[in-house]
Amino acid sequence: VERTLSIIKPDATKRNLTGKINAKFEDAGLRIVAQKRIQLTKAQAGEFYAVHKERPFYDELCEFMASEPVVVQVLEGDGAIAKNREVMGATNPADAAPGTIRAEFAESVGENSVHGSDAPETAAVEIAFFFSGLELV
Ligand code: ATP
Ligand code: MG
């Protein structure tokens, strides 16, 4: 089985949508094997999203991710990385397929409710960014 790192972003935690989003993951066959609520500093958000450092929206993205608590979680299942991204929907909610998390809950391309790792290598790095081995069974 595969594991991926998911983040329920500030726009969604603020609107108390954690349970509704988790239900979407579970309905898709993903298992939440670790989960915690944290608040990132802007510097920590910047480190997490370092790959986007040169993008025009980087500063806005880091401010947003540090603006309210987030829920970070590890999802497990067969093909979890692709399955999670399918359940999330397209980055821009205007392009997201009906029934996806972003179609139902996202407010804009920036405030789009969830993050999901995009490949096995990034999943491993992103899981280790937030969780120690002791927190993962
Ligand atoms: P994520 O990495 O959060 O799972 P993604 O892989 O669908 O989302 P990326 O291209 O990796 O999208 O962008 C990372 C995040 O940066 C997006 O989820 C969104 O919050 C923000 N973002 C992306 N494009 C824009 C944009 N044009 N304007 C504002 N914010 C953006
Ligand atoms: Mg991405």
Count Cβ atoms within 10 A of the Cβ of residue 109 and give its class: 0-12 exposed, 13-18 middle, 19 or more buried.
middle
What is the CA(120)–ligand 2 centre distance, in A? 13
Average predicted confidence (pLDDT) for the chain = 98
For the chain, state the CA radius of gyration. Answer: 14
What pLDDT digit, counting tens, does each position of 77-109 carry?
Answer: 999 999 999 999 999 999 999 999 999 999 999
Instruction: Please list the active-site residues.
Output: 115
What pLDDT digit, counting tens, does each position of 60-80 carry?
Answer: 999 999 999 999 999 999 999
Identify the band that residue 53 occupies on the pLDDT scale cut at 50, 70 and 90: very high
Ligand 1, CB within 6 Å, residue ranges: 52, 57, 61, 91, 109-110, 112, 115-116, 118
pLDDT of residue 37: 98
State ipTM.
0.95
